Each structure stands twice: as structure tokens, then as C-alpha cells.
């Protein structure tokens, strides 16, 4: 007779590994035997991110000329002013990097990019276009947690990914593996209910959780009998199914074991964030509270947050709160209310920086080891589709915030890398390879290569060594 143990050994081994994770030792009050886990937050936006809006206004004339010619250089941010829209994160300038000059022409560009910006390959709506796990999932597996990875999204009203279902759980912008899209929570209300139902004070949520637990127990037990009656590929299918069920049960058990620490960090959301009909900005603030609660409680070490998409119809923007702003129209130069298109873009970016300031400030206030939680965190803010509304991927700007224990030596700098086609140019693939290598994944190169750069015989494999 085939036992469940025989074909669930891998899952059981993974579960055992999770029991030794530092966050769980902390949750139980046991002394930590290793350093705190590393955490990563990926925040991406739609409608492009113009490289020119990233430039410190106080550059010297020499550096301004280099910037205009897109020649490589680097300056210390402490000696310069930040662009006005970044003012809310000025307090974190010493941990900040403005990174210019990366390209992503091997990705899907234009209006919508699906998993491209995190996977470095051409993706579209077809599941077959997903070639491998996106970089956020690769990092999540290096620093395991009960939920592994959480994705939050302000889904678009039209066009792009998961259009129309703003409050649902839909295909997100990350991927677990080949042809395996991740699923994202579209509203703070749904995220709160699904992620925290094991500690919910709501009786109906508790009943639902108990029913789901019993269904999983029953289903897991039934797989042994089914497996004994099949063979070949069918037995493998049953084994995979049973392994998935067992993984869910193991995850739930971990969450139940750390219920006290989760309950202490349960998000306290104002009623407006739990509404079905909420403004885009309120949706973003609500998701930010969910993001913080899951990180601080140790439920996950990696969160991906789609703050908007090209098809997002923005509401609640500062100064034009009652306008319904279509980002696609903004991309074509249309203004709304009293603001022109460029002013709306700036207002949107300013809103995003306010979210980031809240995340960093809150994490800095949570003690961890000999410092705070942000010491062990990196946050990335970048466009989903590159440099413009109708992007080509010729540039892919990033704003990065690195805690003091980060493995990359880039904090406090404005860095412009060699432009596309020039000797020494770097791509998204080089950038993510650098990140993975620095944190322990020895992959030779992450992502696809740029065919045009290959024809130019530009070396585009491997990490950006100066960053490590």
C-alpha cells in the first residue's frame, strides 16, 4: 500500500525547515540562533516612469550634461536635493538609491507587461508565456515563511491584468514557476479576511476557517486510498495534488502556532478601507496596512504590491479627489480637473512616496536583533512597463531603499549606468542576478537576454559586480 508519507516527504522536509526560521523562534520567545530574515518589498506602478523626473535638481552643470547625454556617473545623495515629488521620503535619503540606466527590452513593453518586469521575459495573458518563477518568488524561497509570498494589487478597471474585478482574488503580476501565475488580493477587506481568518474575532470567519480545515483533513486522508488504485501518470497527479493539500495544511498549522504574534499585529483598518466601493488612494493605504501586518508578524518575508496599473481609474488623488482619472488618458496627455497630465503624474508619484514613507517609518519603529526591522529590508519602487506610457524598455528606472544590513553597497547614491548599447550597459537581468547572488542564490544569470545587445556583442550576463 502506498502511504502518504512516501510521496509527501519533500513537503514534510520543507515544513521541518520552516520550524527553524528566525521569525518562529522569536514568536515562541526562544533565543535566535541566526540573523533575522531578510525582507523584500516590490512596489510597481503602471503608465511608465519618466527617467527625467528622477534626477536631483541640484546636480552640477557637469553632471547635468552627463545626465542629458545619459553618460554614466554617480553622486552622493546627501549632497543633493531630491526631486520635489520625493520629499516625503527625504528622511530616508541615506538609505535611498536612485538607479538609472537599466534596460528591459527582453520584456514585454508598451501598455501592459504582466509578469515581465519581475520575470525578465516576454509575458502576456497566456499562462504558457510564464517561463519561470519571478524574482520575488525566488527570494521568498530563500527566506521561507508560512505564507511564502503575498501579493496585493490595485487592479485595473479596464485593460491589462485581471481587469474589472477590483475587489477579487485574481491573477497577479508575479509567478510561482512555469505557467504558474500568482494570485493577488484586490481589496484590503478580502486580504484581511483571507490572511487573518485564523485569528479573526468574527464568528462567521472562524466557522468558515474550521470548515475549510476539516475539508482539507478529509481530502488529504482520501488521497491514500485513491493513490493505491491508480498508477503511472495518474498516480503522480494524485501525489502532486496531495502534496499541495499537505502544504496548505502545514502552512495553516504554522499560522495557528504563531496566532498570538499575529493577533498582536492584526491590522486595525478604518471602516473606509473595508468598503467595497473605496477610492484608489484608500485602497492603497489599506493594502499598506496589510503589507505591514504580514511582515511585522512574520507571516511572510516578501510582498509584491501593484500600486496601480495603466487601466486604473484613479480616485481620491490630492487636489482632484472627486475626479475619476483614467491613467491611459493621462498617458496620452489628457488632464483632469485643475491638473494637466504631467501634474497628475507627479501627484500619483507623490502618493506612492507617501505610502513608502509609512512603510519604512513603521518598520524602523519595530525592534529587531540589535536594530530594527528595516535594517533587514529592501524596498523597490519601479515602473511595470519601463520608461514611458508606450514604453520600449530602453530604460527602467528604480528607486531602492536598503536597510543597514542589506547585501548591496548602493545606499545613499544617485547612480546612472551606461546607456543601452554602450559598453558596460546593464539590464534588468543583471540587476536581479545581482540581488539573487548577493543574498545566496548563485545563479549565473537571471532572465532572458536582449537579442539586439547580443548582436552588438555586449556582455550582458552576470551580476553588477560594483554593487556587491
pLDDT-based confidence at residue 26 (cuts at 50, 70, 90): very low
The answer to whether 37 and 21 are in contact (CB under 8 A) is: yes
CB count in 10 Å sphere of residue 144:
18
Mean pLDDT of 332-359: 98
Distance CA 121, CA 343 (A): 32
What is the pLDDT at residue 16?
32
- With H, G, I as helix, E, B as strand and everything else as coil, classify residue 372: strand
Does residue 252 or residue 103 have the better pLDDT? 103
The enclosing H or E element of 314 equals: strand 313-314
Longest dimension (CA), the chain: 78
Q: What is the pLDDT of residues 55-110, one digit of tens each?
A: 999 999 999 999 999 999 999 999 999 999 999 999 999 999 999 999 999 999 99
What is the pLDDT at residue 268?
86
Whether the predicted pLDDT of 23 surpasses 60:
no
- The phi, psi pair for 98, rounded to 5°, reads -105, 115
Does residue 307 or residue 6 have the better pLDDT? 307
Q: Report residue 297 CA to chain centroid gap.
A: 18
Whether the predicted pLDDT of 401 surpasses 50:
yes
Mean pLDDT of 249-274: 83
pLDDT-based confidence at residue 201 (cuts at 50, 70, 90): low
What is the pLDDT at residue 339?
98
SS (H, E, C) 313-345: EECCCCCCCCCCEEHHHHHCCCCECCECHHHHH
Write down the domain spans for the chain.
197-266
- With H, G, I as helix, E, B as strand and everything else as coil, classify residue 337: coil
The answer to whether 284 and 269 are in contact (CB under 8 A) is: no
- 28-32, 78-82, 114-118, 460-464: the lowest-pLDDT one: 28-32
- 16-20, 23-27, 179-183: the lowest-pLDDT one: 16-20
The answer to whether 416 and 66 are in contact (CB under 8 A) is: yes
The answer to whether 279 and 140 are in contact (CB under 8 A) is: no
Distance CA 122, CA 120 (A): 7
Distance CA 66, CA 256 (A): 56
Residues near 453 by Cβ (< 8 Å), separated by ≥ 6? 105, 420, 421, 425, 427, 460
Q: What is the pLDDT of residues 123-166, one digit of tens each?
A: 999 999 999 999 999 999 999 999 999 999 999 988 776 777 89
Mean pLDDT of 295-313: 95
Q: Residue 416 is placed in which grid cell?
A: 546612472
- 3-7, 151-155, 334-338: the lowest-pLDDT one: 3-7
Q: What is the mean pLDDT of the chain?
A: 86
Whether the predicted pLDDT of 27 surpasses 50:
no
- The phi, psi pair for 392, rounded to 5°, reads -115, -10
Q: How far apart are the first and last CA of the chain?
A: 52
What percent of the chain has a predicted confidence (pLDDT) above 70? 81
What is the pLDDT at residue 222?
55
List the one residue out of 31, 38, 78 whose CA is nearest residue 374.
Answer: 38
pLDDT-based confidence at residue 216 (cuts at 50, 70, 90): very low
What is the pLDDT at residue 50?
98
Apex 203 CA angle, 202 and 207, nearest 5? 125
What is the pLDDT at residue 7?
33
What is the pLDDT at residue 164?
73
pLDDT-based confidence at residue 239 (cuts at 50, 70, 90): low
- The phi, psi pair for 165, rounded to 5°, reads -95, 75
Amino acid at each position: 500500500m502506498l502511504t502518504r508519507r512516501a510521496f509527501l516527504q519533500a513537503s514534510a522536509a520543507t515544513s521541518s525547515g520552516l520550524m527553524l526560521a528566525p521569525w518562529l523562534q522569536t514568536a515562541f520567545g526562544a533565543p535566535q540562533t541566526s540573523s533575522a530574515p531578510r525582507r523584500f518589498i516590490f512596489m510597481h506602478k503602471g503608465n511608465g516612469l519618466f527617467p527625467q523626473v528622477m534626477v536631483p535638481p541640484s546636480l552640477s552643470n557637469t553632471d547635468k550634461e552627463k545626465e542629458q547625454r545619459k553618460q554614466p556617473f554617480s553622486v552622493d545623495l546627501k549632497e543633493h536635493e531630491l526631486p520635489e515629488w520625493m520629499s516625503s521620503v527625504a528622511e530616508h535619503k541615506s538609505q535611498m538609491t536612485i538607479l538609472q540606466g537599466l534596460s528591459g527590452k527582453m520584456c514585454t513593453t508598451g501598455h501592459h507587461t504582466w509578469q515581465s518586469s519581475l520575470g525578465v521575459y516576454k509575458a502576456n495573458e497566456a499562462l504558457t508565456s510564464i517561463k519561470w518563477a519571478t524574482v520575488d518568488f525566488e527570494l521568498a524561497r530563500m527566506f521561507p515563511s508560512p505564507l511564502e509570498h503575498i501579493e496585493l494589487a490595485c487592479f485595473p478597471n479596464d485593460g491589462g491584468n485581471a481587469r474589472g474585478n477590483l475587489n477579487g482574488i485574481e491573477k497577479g503580476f508575479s509567478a510561482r514557476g512555469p505557467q504558474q501565475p500568482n494570485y493577488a488580493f484586490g481589496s484590503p477587506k478580502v486580504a484581511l479576511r483571507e490572511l487573518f481568518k485564523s485569528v479573526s474575532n468574527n464568528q462567521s470567519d472562524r466557522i468558515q476557517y474550521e470548515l475549510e480545515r476539516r475539508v482539507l483533513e478529509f481530502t488529504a486522508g482520501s488521497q491514500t486510498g485513491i493513490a493505491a488504485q491508480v498508477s503511472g501518470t495518474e498516480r503522480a497527479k494524485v501525489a502532486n495534488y496531495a502534496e499541495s493539500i499537505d502544504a496548505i495544511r502545514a502552512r495553516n498549522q504554522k499560522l495557528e502556532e504563531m496566532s498570538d504574534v499575529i493577533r498582536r499585529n492584526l491590522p486595525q483598518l478604518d471602516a473606509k478601507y473595508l468598503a467595497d466601493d473605496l477610492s484608489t488612494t484608500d485602497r492603497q493605504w489599506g493594502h499598506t496596512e496589510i503589507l505591514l501586518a504580514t511582515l511585522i508578524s512574520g507571516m511572510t518575508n516578501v510582498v509584491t504590491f501593484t500600486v496601480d496599473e495603466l487601466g486604473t481609474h484613479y480616485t481620491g488623488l490630492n487636489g482632484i479627489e472627486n475626479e475619476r482619472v483614467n491613467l491611459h488618458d493621462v498617458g496620452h496627455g489628457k488632464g483632469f480637473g485643475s491638473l494637466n497630465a504631467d501634474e497628475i503624474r507627479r501627484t500619483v508619484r507623490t502618493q506612492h512616496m507617501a505610502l513608502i514613507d509609512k512603510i519604512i517609518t513603521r518598520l524602523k519603529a519595530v525592534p529587531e536583533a540589535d536594530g530594527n526591522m528595516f535594517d533587514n529590508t529592501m524596498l523597490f519602487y519601479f515602473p511595470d512597463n519601463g520608461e514611458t506610457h508606450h514604453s520600449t524598455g530602453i530604460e527602467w528606472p528604480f528607486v531602492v531603499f536598503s536597510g543597514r544590513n542589506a547585501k548591496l553597497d548602493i545606499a545613499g547614491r544617485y547612480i546612472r549606468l551606461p546607456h543601452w548599447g554602450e559598453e558596460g550597459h546593464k539590464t534588468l537581468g543583471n540587476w536581479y542576478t545581482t540581488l539573487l547572488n548577493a543574498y545566496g542564490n548563485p545563479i549565473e544569470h537571471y532572465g532572458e537576454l536582449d537579442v539586439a545587445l547580443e548582436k552588438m556583442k555586449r556582455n550582458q550576463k552576470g551580476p553588477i559586480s560594483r554593487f556587491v
